[in-house]
Amino acid sequence: MPPTAPGVAIAAHNLGKSYGVGWALRGVSLSVAAGAGLAVFGGNGAGKTTLLRLLATLSAPSLGTLHLLGHDALRDPRRVRPALGVVGAQSYLYADLTVAENLWLYARLYRVPEAGGRVAAALAAVRLDGVAARRVRACSRGMQQRLALARATLHRPAVLLLDEPDSGLDADGQDCLARLIAAGRAAGQAVVLATHDQELGVALCGHALILDAGRPIYSAPALAHTPAEWRARCVLAQSRSRVA
């Protein structure tokens, strides 16, 4: 029997990560239901990327527990990985393959049914259908980010983990991102979105968490505060850290 409540896609308890010289992340507990969204705010070095990497099972925590889709993700990470869609600091794309070839490859590696239609739909969703034959190396940073989004959502993962996915995106790209997240959540995807853009986080996620210096310092429903208030809380937390 799954140790987490039904409908809970991500359940983390007291997650921590140490790289040997202090804690990059400590004491993070969170729960994200299927179809729900969690925005993670915080300044540079707050621990957002570390948290996302732990949730993606790309890095093993130094302490704590993590259950994804009811499975112990620390004991058997390979079981849950195919159910994750990850956009990280890197795009995971072959630079010398074309836009379409990359998606075809990942469609096959994730055993996506009806891959032809899904690849075409994914390209259209990020508005890259006009450059399908272009090599990734020749694509701009923003286009690569759009393609990374298409790659991460191609196999319709149950959990979508996005680490600053808006990085490098223009207004049109941000619109694509918003549509993908909204559609994913409507289809039951659990979304964790780490971003510096409080407006985006509040608009796309139901709950928000502020990290600072590797610790969770505030958590509330996203709409409990305006984006400006969330921003002010982040700035205040950073100021306190500097003083401390």
Partner 1 sequence: MPPGFWGQVGSLLAADLRREWRGRAVVGLMVSFVCVTGLILNFTFNLALESRVATAVGAFWTALLFATILGLGRVFVLDGENGVWEGLTLILLDPGGLFLAKLGSNLLFLTVLDSVAVPVFAALYNLPLLHGAVLLPIALGTLALGAAGTLFVPLAGASTAREILLPVVLLPLLVPVLIGAVQATVAALTPATAGQPPWTGLLAACAALFLGSGYLLYGYLLDD
- Of 42, 47, 88, 201, the residue at the interface with partner 1 (CB under 8 A) is 88
What SS3 state is found at 152?
helix
Q: Which of residues 6-65 bind partner 1 (CB under 8 A)?
A: 56, 58-60
Secondary structure E strands in the chain = 8-18, 23-33, 37-41, 63-68, 71-72, 84-87, 159-163, 190-194, 207-212, 215-221
Phi then psi dihedrals of residue 190, to 5 deg: -90, 130
Q: Say how many residues touch partner 1, by CB under 8 A.
A: 35
Q: Which of residues 153-212 bind partner 1 (CB under 8 A)?
A: 155
What's 92-142 look like in SS3? CCCCCCEHHHHHHHHHHHCCCCCHHHHHHHHHHHCCCHHHCCCEHHHCCHH
Q: Residue 78, interface with partner 1 (CB under 8 A)?
A: yes
Q: Residue 89, interface with partner 1 (CB under 8 A)?
A: yes
Shortest CB 9 distance to partner 1, Å: 16
**With respect to partner 1, which residue has the nearer C-beta, 136 or 210?**
136
User: Which stretch, 30-38, 103-111, 121-129, 230-238, contacts partner 1 (CB under 8 A)?
Assistant: 103-111
Using CA atoms, how far apart are residues 190 and 1, in angstroms rounded to an integer?
21
Residue 135 near residue 95 (C-beta atoms within 8 A): yes
Shortest CB 227 distance to partner 1, Å: 30
- Of 84, 99, 177, 210, the residue at the interface with partner 1 (CB under 8 A) is 84
Residue 193 near residue 40 (C-beta atoms within 8 A): yes
Q: Which residues bind partner 1 (CB under 8 A)?
A: 56, 58-60, 77-78, 81-82, 84, 86, 88-97, 101, 105-106, 108-113, 115, 135-136, 144, 151, 155
